[in-house]
Structure 1
Amino acid sequence: MTDQNSQFFAILTAIGKAKQANADALGIPWTFAQMGVGDANGADPIPSEQQTKLIHENRRAPLNQVKVDPNNANVIIAEQVIPENVGGWWIREIGLYDAAGDLVAVANCAPSFKPLLSQGSGRTQVIRMNLIVSNTANVELKIDPSVVLATRSYVDAAITNVLPANKAAGTYTKVQINSRGIVIAGSNPTTLGGYGITDALNSVTGGDVAGTINLTNARSITTVAADSASWAGGLHAVSRVSRNILSGFGAWGNGDSVNTLYMGLSGVPWEFGPGVRVKADGVYISGPLTANGAGLSGVPWGGITGTPTTLASYGVGFASQPEAEAGADTNKPMSALRVFQAIAAKVIQATESVLGIARIATQTLVNAGVDDSTIVTPKKLRMGFAILLAPTGYVALPAWLGGLIFQWGIASNVPVATASGGAQGPTRDVSLPLAFPNDTFRISASMNFPNMITASAFAPGAAFISKSVIRLQNNYTSSAGEISWWCVGY
Structure 2
Amino acid sequence: MAQFYTLLTDVGQAKLANAVALGQTIEITELAVGDGGGSLPTPDSGATALINEVRRAPINTSTTDPDNPSWIVVEQVLPPDVGGWTIREIGIFDVDGDLIGVGNYPETYKPVLAEGSSRTQTVRFVLEVSDTAAVTLKVDPNVVLATRDYVDTERDEHEASRNHPAATEAAQGMARIATQAETDAGIDDGKFITAKKLKAWVKQATESVMGLLKVATQAQVDAGDDDTTAVTPKKLRWGVDYSFGTTGYIALPSWMGGLIFQWARLSALGDAQNTTFNFPIAFPTGMLSGYLSILDSSNNNAAQTEHVFFNDGTQSATSVDIYTYGPNSSGINFNVIVIGY
Q: TM-score, normalised by structure 2?
A: 0.46
Greater strand proportion = 2
Higher relative contact order (CA 8 A, sep 6+): 2
